[in-house]
Structure 1
């Protein structure tokens, strides 16, 4: 691979990085340095770190600026319009690398993640994305998860790829700027549709997700609601005739009726989600009127909400 030169935003010539790591940051002063250093400490060094500040009011910007001074591979981008989807889109638009890696400011990459992925992608031109497992760190211990890509339709049912999982080739697909929760699921579906043939997974653990009371994965009711909403958007955007999807969607409508019954979502949220399901929700509403169905659905939803983290 030859050395590529490009002109940066300041008009200076630099060696073009092969990988762009995009990190949206909002009030991440406690964790953003760990996230960025996990990129800089990769065994693969031809990379840039695009830290996209989402209007932080803590010391995040100062921490990132100090890291920029210490290592020119770190670049700070300040936004005036908030939103994770918008931040990731700005990062994608400004990325200079051939390959893209997303990383949340709470989390970290393990040292060999990028090198392993780039080596594989460069030697397999037919592979679009390379993924690793994720280790979830909580105050009760850790859980390791390896996405299963053996069933093409699985991604249409729920988000099988945590945001830090994949390194993929640069492309024109962008996030829906109107969505800021479970937005990565819709992005992955837009990227792969119901075809996993371009994705290669390994059982190696490549990143750690740190789950705390301060990040969105701890808000189980909101994450459950948005999984239902995003499934509706996907259902409308990519209609697929499948008994598995039909069963899944009826179940999601039952859970949605339970969420409003338990007072976990507003009537407006309920109406927003049901417009993507229409007839299926009419069926679910009838089923939900049956006492034993309502009781079991409420128990199931409460079981999800009582978990420390939402895992789809």
Structure 2
């Protein structure tokens, strides 16, 4: 069974070696490694091409800069494996990650593993007691909409490629495009294997959009969650309250970040406050939302 590993790359010369070495050193060898250079203006492309000379499993695709969503689409278009795995260029994976995920797959549509924020092998989080669960369709949708145990991140999920037919990353979604794509994939998914074993190491990038101040790109998460709410209302009405809570969480956190940087778009701020006010009852009743977050939501409703 061949696994396609897709790595979007943009100006990653400082850390791409660690990422690619962790992929090439996988104990599972039947790999197709698709590296998409998204118009880097540093030495990234040269590094990718040098790696391709060393290993015939590597396919380098070069394109003008179009953004991470387009780069992920390009990677998907060039993948031919039975399963796909997205890896961010500044992250790294355990040498046995693919082997373990394949072992766990056992005809499952998706395998979902644990991750941490380790920057080196010495700082890897240790797990005592490896667990494995099998989720059916209802459990998958429920957990995605709650967005606690399972987030919208793609990089710790081995996905059967056939599930992605007709699914695309939306370049207009500047923040949360991975969750939007995963939501599409989950409509075709019937089973998921979930393990707490940490096989993926995500290294936070201080320059990424998730660490920058509030912006128009981050505001796009609101429309993304509204679309998911509309889908949930039509297909899974029994889980609509969880979709509304996630939309409200996006609005409350957006207002928090907007205040931190004195964001000035009054219409967007007003709209996020209206979302919070409309859904505050269910938000306050949710036992998986922190008390601190609930207090801030109340303050937002008052007009802070």
CA distance in 1: counterparts of 2:3 and 2:293, whole angstroms: 49
Given that 1:22 and 1:49 are in contact with CA atoms closer than 8 Å, whether structure 2 keeps it comes out as yes
Alignment partner, residue 134 of structure 1: 115
Q: Shift of the alpha carbon at 1:83?
A: 1.3
Which of 153, 160, 165 is the equivalent residue of 1:162? 153
Which of 194, 201, 217 is the equivalent residue of 1:208? 201
SS where residue 137 of structure 1 aligns?
coil
Q: CA RMSD in A?
A: 3.8
Structure 2 CA distance for partners of 1:238 and 1:205, relative to 1, 3 Å:
same
CA distance in 2: counterparts of 1:204 and 1:99, whole angstroms: 19
CA distance in 2: counterparts of 1:216 and 1:182, whole angstroms: 10
SS where residue 168 of structure 1 aligns?
strand
Alignment partner, residue 78 of structure 2: 94
Alignment partner, residue 103 of structure 2: 119
Alignment partner, residue 307 of structure 1: none
Which of 6, 21, 24 is the equivalent residue of 2:8? 24
Alignment partner, residue 224 of structure 2: 230
Structure 2 CA distance for partners of 1:92 and 1:189, relative to 1, 3 Å:
same
Q: Deviations over 1:92-148 (max 9, x none)?
A: 111121110100000011111111222333xx22x1011211011269x66689999
CA distance in 2: counterparts of 1:129 and 1:294, whole angstroms: 31
Given the two structures, how large is their TM-score scaled by the length of structure 2? 0.74
Q: How many residues align?
A: 271
Stretches of structure 1 lacking an aligned partner (at least 5 in a row): 2-17, 286-292, 302-312
Given the two structures, how large is their TM-score scaled by the length of structure 1? 0.72
Structure 2 CA distance for partners of 1:35 and 1:253, relative to 1, 3 Å:
closer
Q: Which has the higher helix share?
A: 2
The aligned runs of 1:234-245 (5 Å cut-off) are 234-239=228-233, 240-241=236-237, 242-245=240-243
Stretches of structure 2 lacking an aligned partner (at least 5 in a row): 281-291
